Amino acid sequence: MANPYPFQDKVIVVSGASRGTGLALSRYLLVRGAKVSMAATSEENLKKAIAGIEQDIPDVKERVIYFPTDVRNPDDVKAWIEGTVAKWGELDGAANVAAKMNKSIHPIEDLELEELKEVLDVNVIGTFNSIKYEMKNIKPGGSIVNCGSQQVKYASGNMGAYAASKNAIRGLSQSAAYEGGAKYPKNPIRVNLLCPGCIDTDMIRQPLHLPNGAGTWTMTEGDHLTSIIKRYSKPEEIAASIAFLLGDESRFMTKQEIYVDGGWMEANYETARLGEVSLDESKLQKLVLTLSVIGNSTSWQICNIQVLEQDIYFQAQDMMTSTGKSPLKLILGAANVGDKEADPWARYDTPDEVKAFINVFAKRGYTQLDTAAVYSPQAPYSSEPRLGTVNAGERFSIDTKADFMKGHTKEHIAHDIDNSLKHLKINQINVYYLHVPDRNNPVEPALEALNTAYKDGKIKTWGISNFRADEVQEVIDICEKRGFVKPSVYQGHYNALVRAGEKELFPVLRKNGMAFYAYSPAAGGLFSGSHKNPAPNGRFDPAHKSGSITNSLYIKPSVLGAVDKAIEVFAKHNIGGHAAALRWTAHHSILDKKYGDGLIIGASSPQQLENNVDTVEEGPLPEEVVAALNAVYEEAGNEVSYHM
């Protein structure tokens, strides 16, 4: 039987330990009996990380310590390593995880020296400082693991600073491995390099600046991943690989480069066709950049580039079959995470209930949650704290929305962002939305607050929800005029019935490079007939606030007549109405993964969530069912608005 505590009483130091892979590794080692000394720049983040660990892992308090450490500073590193040894004795292992990514995508000829130095200072000088003091304080037979990247093997264009730093770490690792063997010939200190691909952490999700002020670009899992396994790795997967190199199972391994990258492959252009188009300089540079990124990240057969309405649209035929299960980004809606006593519609209240709900989503490979300050509907301000209590932000990127009941003033937006960060127990909100338009206050001060939050790193990006198309354009115009970061996502009501936005809204979004996240993608169960016999506290229960809103939207004679005709067609194909509606939105709608579009799905139970994910992943519908759903919109689509 395998030993459940392979690291029992082993002393291991981990840098970059307050979040992402470093935090996942610290947890992995502690569960398996290690004594872990965690280092990171922010003492506040370390305290939060350890508070979460102590809550989740029993009897860990005496086996975890932390040191606020800037790895660029040799005195900090010396204090961390020597402080650990003073408490627990010599080291058994060390994992140097701390890293910095470049903040822009520039060719070397345009790369600022300061940016290069910033990346080298953390990645190279930081790793050098760490190895130096670890080698002085590690036992014979100890193991040091440094973190490289797939950039060691396949360096990408426009990533010169990061690629240079990771290749320098490779050289340091090889030198240290030789020295570890020379120091203790009979029981060498082992030094190996772990080279991950894209990891689903804050670092990979940071916006990268494009050349000449052309905006920012944020990589997503849908962006031309060149790996055979078409997704980001989870921090826990990389942590397990590092732990293997730290442990006794790898004791015959040193000076190795281990690639845990999902099968990363070198780029291979076969054909690229550029039509005769007229581009201004900034768009041309952005186009060349996009080609460069794609050229270093996947294998393409044909790239067609068109200019439509002054914007570049990229169409490509991928030679490789995508293994992604959902055709669109899939996001878990947490509107019914909340206080059950105050809100009968809430389904997930206790920590165990919330964990059971979100664990289903995580196990299916999805990592984005959506909530709001005012969720759940009848118990405002109860959803975010419950997600924070279970440390959902350690495994998921979390989107949330402003408290519209207070109004969108500059002061309220700034205050609400801080509140959401505190309640969710995270350092950065993934997408922060203006939840509904505030037509009683000018929007510009709110945009100023959002821009400040973006520059301060409190929000990764921001979005708009429930606005009219003209209001979206107004927001974008103000942002361009003032030099503010522009919204990147619109979250809106969209399904087989609610499609008016296709004509009015989507042209504005596409012109401005905004993704669309659809809520209520199955029309709240309308196509399953839920409205005919409403369940207590269900979506169509008129006694409930949310049910009353749903009824006002959908329960109209023309709508119900059209829906009944479609239900007859579903029955012929033995497809449930809810499944048909959800699959239509996922596979047959205007939504498209190439724009970053997504579906927000929820469920009243973990099992229903499993079923909903199964439905999305099931694939396209029969043509007759698609035609029946399209007919619903043609007959009654003007009855329901896409905005508030």
- List 133, 375, 490, 494, catalytic entry: 375
Distance, in Å, from the CA atom of 92 to the CA atom of 74, rounded to the nearest integer, reads: 21
Distance, in Å, from the CA atom of 122 to the CA atom of 69, rounded to the nearest integer, reads: 12
CB 45 within 8 A of CB 19: yes
Distance, in Å, from the CA atom of 596 to the CA atom of 271, rounded to the nearest integer, reads: 25
The DSSP annotation for 504-524 comes to HTHHHHHHTT-EEEEESTTGG
From the centroid of its chain, how far is CA 343? 29
**What's the per-residue H, E or C state across 395-452?**
CCEEEEECCHHHCCCHHHHHHHHHHHHHHHCCCCEEEEEECCCCCCCCCHHHHHHHHH
Q: Using CB atoms within 10 A of its CB, is residue 34 exposed (0-12), middle (13-18) or buried (19+)?
A: buried
Encoded tokens for 477: 């115009």
Maximum separation of any 2 CA atoms in the chain, in Å: 85
CB 388 within 8 A of CB 425: yes
301 conformational bin, left if phi > 0, alpha if psi -120 to 50, beta if neither: alpha
From the centroid of its chain, how far is CA 309? 30
CB 478 within 8 A of CB 619: no
Is 232 assigned a catalytic role? Answer: no
Q: Which residue has the tokens 């509606």?
A: 581
Buried b (16+ CB within 10 A) or exposed e, 260-293: bbbebbebeeeeeeeeeeebeeebebbbebbbbb
Encoded tokens for 454: 């973006």
Instruction: Map residue 146 onto helix, strand or coil.
Output: strand
Amino acid at 48: K
Q: Which residue has the tokens 């008129």?
A: 542
Amino acid at 352: D
Distance, in Å, from the CA atom of 387 to the CA atom of 538, rounded to the nearest integer, reads: 22
DSSP 621: P
| 14, 54, 269 from 275: Cα distances, Å | 52, 59, 17
Q: Which residue has the tokens 């007859």?
A: 568
Encoded tokens for 512: 């401005």
CB 221 within 8 A of CB 232: yes
The DSSP annotation for 278-332 comes to ---HHHHHHHHHHHHHHHTT-EEEEEEEEEETTEEEEEEEESSPP--SSSSEEEE
> Which residue, among 563, 568, 567, 587, has the nearest Cα to 577 in the 3D structure?
567
Instruction: Map residue 258 onto helix, strand or coil.
Output: strand
Name the residues annotated as catalytic.
375
